[in-house]
A and B are shown apart, each in its own frame.
Chain A
Amino acid sequence: MIEDPNKHWLYRKSSLPWLWRFLIGILVLSVIPEFFVNHYSYFAEQGTTIEASFGFHAWYGFITCALMVVAAKVLGIFLKRKDNYYDD
């Protein structure tokens, strides 16, 4: 398929794989320093050091966000109404 050359490069289908590669590249870059940094554990006294473990913030950020999106989706089943619901 030949794409409209006037289309902004961000919106061309052919740019999409490159955008993904760029994002994944940044993500990898953000994890590399984990090999060199020593995180200090705040909660050793409370019996957990997970927040100082390798790449904690990476997986914690991803999983909690995924959970929030799913939670919103589930609550949306009950809470969503057409946006003219109150207009009468």
Chain B
Amino acid sequence: MTEPGIVSNILSGWSPGFPPGLVLMFAGLLLPFFQGIARKVLVLVAPILTLITVWAVGTDNNLTLQFLDYNLNPVAGNGYGLVFATIFSIMAFVGGLYALNQARVVELAAGFVYAGAAIGVTFSGDLISLFIFWEIMALGSTLVIWSAGTEKAWSASFRYLLIHLLGGVILMAGITLRVLETNSIAFTAMQPDNLANILILAGFLLNAGAPPLSAWIADAYPEASPSGMVFLSAFTTKTAVFTLLIGFPGTDILIYIGLYMVFYGIIYALLENDMRRILAYSIVNQVGFMVCAIGIGTELALTGAAAHAFAHIIYKALLIMSAGSVLMMTGKRKCTDVGGLIQTMPFTAVNGIIGALAISAFPFTSGFVTKSLETAAAADQGLVFVWFCLMAASAGVFLHAGIKFPWFVFFQKDSGLRPPESPRNMQIAMWIFSFLCIAIGLFPQIFYQILPIPPDYQAYSFSHLVSQFQLLLFAGLAFFVLLPMMKRTLTISLDFDWFYRRFLHIVASEFTVKTGAAGNIVENGLRIKVERFIKRLYKIHGPYGVLARTWPSGGMVLWVSVMLASIIIFSALF
């Protein structure tokens, strides 16, 4: 891995011998024990300390831990990981600021542990450390959803956890097989040419929101609180992008998986009525661009994927903050209920529009100078079909996120709602990210320096500017011409989650009917017991801290033993 540009040299000479993510995780666990101003200071200082630690470690590799027969490498910095860890730290800071006065402490604490674990993944030099941080992320993010405190959030968080535990099991199975076959736990580039690597790839892809299980993003994220969804939008899918980038660069199938995700996101977002679900689908769309670029796998493509992930975290968080402000001030989240909010929430609207322009890759925003690296990579490789798809998708991004979101929320018909602006800390958080969207867009050459291999790419050519303006403006024309076809309806759209939310449910209820009331009693009894158990656990062990620590190790031990058992049986048979 090559040295990153400026970042690595800033703090060289001081390199802590622990994973930088631990700073944020530790701060998260401490949060519940602080009150008032001390807690606020901790929320704002911890991400900054984390960022300093991230840069101090840089690309050092200076910690080896003995675990069973293996040497773990939890502090193995690399150029791409540094890009992701940097934006994750910035995201934790701005997300913390946005949540400062409104979020429950459990949400903030879980959010920090979750963010810290994501940073942990970016520094993992071996698959076991990676897996441990991966599972902590799953639990932290589940708690973030759950802490919204509504019944819908509770069931959504449960579905979310099940999907991610499934992903964890697939990943663990892949890692175990790989270790058996190669006797190495190093996290390096792999080829999906054997079962072990295919399972690892599937585990990573599940977290990226790849098909068929893409529905969890739009199912779970919008049920989180206004600030909770900001955290969620940043870490899980982008950590998956990072692991794909390191583990499977140039894997052809990723090109087509990425293209599917790009159009899946657009079509579902066009059908959607809930403003935060529109933004959730658009996460899949954006991650699709990155997955496609990783599949292309050239130096420019991989750099483009990392740069796009960096910019994407900022503008997507900005969009979700703007939607979150609207949700908080109006209590409404459906496009059919809002509209005309620019009249009393002009700053939230301006920030939302800046985010919308950036996601659409409008010239002079961060999207323009990052996403074009990916399309340029497709062009360089002569991938005609891929390039035409990506261009159509770029126009489609403007359609579903760039115009649709601001139009239906801040303009369209006047809903008569006259909410005031959201609180000041939320406003400041949005302005910081708006500033970054435009700063990156205006000074791409400075931004490119933080990438491991600064691309030799000129975004601002006359031809590129003209083409991009035309593409987006005519996409806008299509939106307004076809507006009657996009009249919002009170509907949701079926997705793969139908199978586990409806089909299995029908099968189960049929079974219950057949087996009579006994099934019901058992089911209810169990549910009450589980709920009581969880409530008691939460009550006894204080505000969630211990809970978060015991689940991953307990769960992992269980699955490790399951894996070991299956390996023993497997090896005994052959």
Interface residue ranges, A against B (CB under 8 Å): 7-8, 10-11, 23, 26-27, 30-31, 33-34, 37-40, 42-43, 45-46, 48, 51, 55-62, 64-66, 68-73, 75-76, 78-83, 85-86
Contact = CB atoms under 8 A, between A and B. Distances in A.
A22 B391 CA distance: 26
Contact of A86 (B270, B273, B380, B502): B502
B570 interface: no
A1 to B, nearest CB: 17
Given A37-B462, A68-B270, A58 B493 contact: no
B392 A23 contact: no
B382 interface: yes
A12 B470 CA distance: 29
B395 A64 contact: yes
B384 A43 contact: yes
Contact of A60 (B379, B395, B480): B395
A80 B492 CA distance: 6
Contacts, number: 150
A47 to B, nearest CB: 9
B476 A23 contact: yes
Interface string B488-506: 0111111100000110000
B466 interface: yes
Nearest to B410: A10
Given A65-B475, A68-B266, A86-B502, A30 B469 contact: yes
B463 A39 contact: yes
Contact of B471 (A8, A58, A68): A58
A42 B379 CA distance: 6
Contact of A11 (B340, B466, B470): B340
Interface in B482-523: 482, 485-486, 489-495, 501-502
B556 to A, nearest CB: 31
Contacts of B274: 83
A80 B478 contact: no
Contact of A72 (B271, B379, B413): B271
Main secondary structure of the interface of A (DSSP, over half): helix
Nearest to B393: A64
A80 B469 CA distance: 33
A82 B492 CA distance: 6
Given A68-B399, A79-B271, 5 more contacts: A23-B476, A64-B392, A65-B399, A66-B478, A75-B493
B281 to A, nearest CB: 11
A83 B222 CA distance: 14
B474 A61 contact: yes
Given A65-B478, A66-B478, A69-B399, A83 B491 contact: yes
Contacts of A23: 476-477, 480
B466 A37 contact: yes
Contacts of A69: 270, 399, 478-479, 482, 485-486
Contacts of B477: 23, 27, 62
A46 B382 contact: yes
A3 to B, nearest CB: 13
Q: Most chain-A CB neighbours within 10 Å: which of B271, B391, B470, B501?
A: B470
Contacts of B396: 64-65, 68
B414 A8 contact: yes
A62 B475 contact: yes
Given A81-B494, A83-B490, A40 B463 contact: yes
A30 B363 CA distance: 13
B384 A48 contact: yes
Contact of B382 (A34, A45, A56, A73): A45
